């Protein structure tokens, strides 16, 4: 049972998990990822060292609903040279310098011509912004604004040694089978280059959850999806429609490594079990947090919650995309994400999964009047374990999460109470869990 994974004496394990996640994010940081390409394979192969992940390759030209898998993008080199032949902007220094999916280009440009292909952020003059040009043929470079201001020569040599050829869109999938075929979908996008919180934190926390889940048998089946944002889930959905009805709960992970409080974006319905489980855990954590309603924006919940699927999938973040200054810049690096914050995200998510695992429904076997707890030796813990709440609401209609919410007690306590009442015969599970 995953229940044993969330005990407080495992807190040190979560910090250790956070440190491991940080190390993984740091290792993946230099890889040049994009919508397609070798960087995705390299990232997924790194995960394969510890997780039995399947890598899928979907050919260019494959149609997925309203979309089509584009040519695969590769970069050999990219630079801007000044008249002295010095590389003043160099892809090898930071992969953020090259606009993602830039088409090949070579030529000598005047300063004015070059400037139309350069992007910088004057508000943060030392940071390189992140941009891509998916689905639009162009090329460009992102530079620190200070660097841009230093480009005072009249002519520059530009080299964008890239290729866009038929290839594949790559994604990874890991399925951990539980006793039930009901599934929990956990997804993280993998298409950002050297960006830590937006991209790598989600990947490494998802990997940490998978590692936790592999330790013990689970009730539910867990499906992890590591795919490039937007097109990845769309392609996955188009190839896996038969699996979709099995998905009972889902969560998209992104921006889970910064020091800010947790932000959870509810699923489209707003009251799915996953929404209630996350809110319950956050409420009882004692830490600040915020809950937002679904909107068709943000990460891949947009695809899972599109009306043709309307899956119960929320999004778990710390500081949301666009709400921290380092977002989509070179300052979203390994220093921005903290082992403690990654560990805290892992701990809270494990607690959420423990709720999903344990959210069973019971029937009181002595429902006429209150049964006597004293003679069963249960009086002492009756209040702290919510035994009267459990007995009263266990009419076959209310699950343990319903009871936890209504009693104001932590799910963990209610679950422990249900175990005690089951052990003495006062409670019986009414249906196979999530049959």
For residue 401, give every residue at least 6 positions away whose Cβ sits within 8 Å of its Cβ, in sequence order, or none: 273, 276, 277, 280, 355, 359, 411
Nearest CB to Zn ion, comparing residues 198 and 344: 198
Judged by CB under 5 A, does residue 182 bind Zn ion?
Answer: no
Nearest CB to Zn ion, comparing residues 190 and 400: 190
Closest distance between Zn ion and the C-beta of residue 19, in Å?
Answer: 25
Nearest CB to Zn ion, comparing residues 332 and 416: 332
Closest distance between Zn ion and the C-beta of residue 198, in Å?
Answer: 4
Q: Tell me the residue number closest to Zn ion, measured at CB.
A: 198
Q: Which of residues 191-210 bind Zn ion (CB under 5 A)?
A: 198
Closest distance between Zn ion and the C-beta of residue 129, in Å?
Answer: 12
Closest distance between Zn ion and the C-beta of residue 328, in Å?
Answer: 6
Nearest CB to Zn ion, comparing residues 121 and 198: 198
User: By rule CB under 5 A, what count of residues binds Zn ion?
Assistant: 1
Closest distance between Zn ion and the C-beta of residue 229, in Å?
Answer: 7
Chain mean position to CA 239: 21
Nearest CB to Zn ion, comparing residues 25 and 51: 25
Instruction: Single out the segment in contact with Zn ion by CB under 5 A; choices: 34-42, 190-198, 220-228, 278-286.
Output: 190-198
- Residue pair 365/231 in contact by the 8 Å Cβ criterion: no
Closest distance between Zn ion and the C-beta of residue 192, in Å?
Answer: 5
Q: What is the dihedral of CA 391, 396, 398, 400, to 10 degrees?
A: 60
- Residue pair 280/411 in contact by the 8 Å Cβ criterion: yes
User: 334-373 mask for Zn ion (x: CB under 5 A)?
Assistant: ----------------------------------------
Closest distance between Zn ion and the C-beta of residue 321, in Å?
Answer: 6
Nearest CB to Zn ion, comparing residues 79 and 324: 324
Nearest CB to Zn ion, comparing residues 129 and 250: 129
Task: State the CB neighbour count (10 A cutoff) for residue 382.
Answer: 17
Among positive and negative, which fits the CA dihedral 295, 297, 299, 300? positive
Closest distance between Zn ion and the C-beta of residue 12, in Å?
Answer: 32
Nearest CB to Zn ion, comparing residues 130 and 222: 130
Residues that bind Zn ion (CB under 5 A): 198
């Amino acid at each position: 049972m995953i229940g044993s994974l969330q005990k407080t004496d495992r807190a040190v394990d979560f910090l250790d998990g956070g440190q491991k996640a940080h190390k993984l994010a740091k290792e993946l940081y230099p890889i040049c990822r994009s919508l397609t390409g070798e960087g995705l394979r390299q990232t997924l192969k790194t995960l394969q060292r510890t997780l039995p992940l399947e890598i899928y390759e979907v050919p260019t030209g494959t149609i997925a609903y309203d979309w089509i898998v584009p040519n695969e993008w590769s970069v050999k080199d990219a630079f801007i040279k000044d008249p002295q032949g010095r590389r003043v902007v160099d892809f090898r220094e930071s992969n953020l310098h090259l606009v993602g999916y830039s088409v090949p280009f070579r030529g000598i440009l005047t300063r004015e011509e070059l400037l139309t292909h350069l992007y910088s952020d004057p508000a943060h003059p030392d940071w390189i912004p992140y941009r891509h040009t998916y689905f639009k043929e162009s090329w460009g470079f992102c530079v620190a604004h200070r660097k841009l201001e230093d480009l005072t020569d009249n002519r520059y040599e530009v080299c964008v040694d890239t290729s866009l050829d038929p290839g594949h869109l790559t994604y990874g999938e890991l399925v951990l089978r539980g006793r039930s075929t009901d599934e929990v979908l956990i997804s993280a996008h993998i298409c950002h280059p050297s960006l830590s919180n937006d991209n790598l934190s989600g990947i490494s926390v998802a990997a940490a959850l998978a590692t936790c889940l592999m330790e013990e048998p689970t009730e539910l089946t867990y499906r992890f999806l590591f795919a490039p944002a937007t097109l990845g889930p769309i392609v996955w959905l188009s190839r896996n429609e038969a699996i979709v009805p099995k998905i009972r709960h889902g969560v998209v992970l992104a921006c889970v490594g910064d020091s800010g409080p947790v932000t959870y974006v509810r699923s489209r319905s707003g009251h799915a079990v996953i929404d209630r489980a996350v809110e319950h855990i956050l409420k009882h954590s004692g830490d600040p947090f915020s809950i937002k309603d679904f909107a068709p924006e943000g990460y891949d919940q947009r695809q899972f919650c599109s009306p043709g699927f309307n899956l119960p999938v929320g999004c778990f973040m710390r500081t949301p995309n666009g709400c921290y200054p380092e977002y989509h810049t070179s300052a979203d690096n390994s220093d921005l994400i903290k082992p403690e914050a990654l560990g805290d995200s892992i701990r809270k998510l494990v607690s959420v999964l423990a709720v999903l695992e344990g959210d069973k429904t019971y029937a009181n076997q002595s429902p006429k009047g209150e049964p006597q707890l004293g003679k069963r030796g249960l009086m002492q813990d009756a209040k702290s374990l919510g035994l009267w709440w459990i007995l009263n609401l266990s009419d076959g209609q209310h699950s343990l999460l319903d009871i936890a919410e209504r009693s104001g007690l932590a799910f963990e306590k209610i679950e422990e109470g249900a175990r005690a009442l089951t052990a003495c015969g006062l409670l019986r599970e009414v249906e196979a869990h999530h049959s």
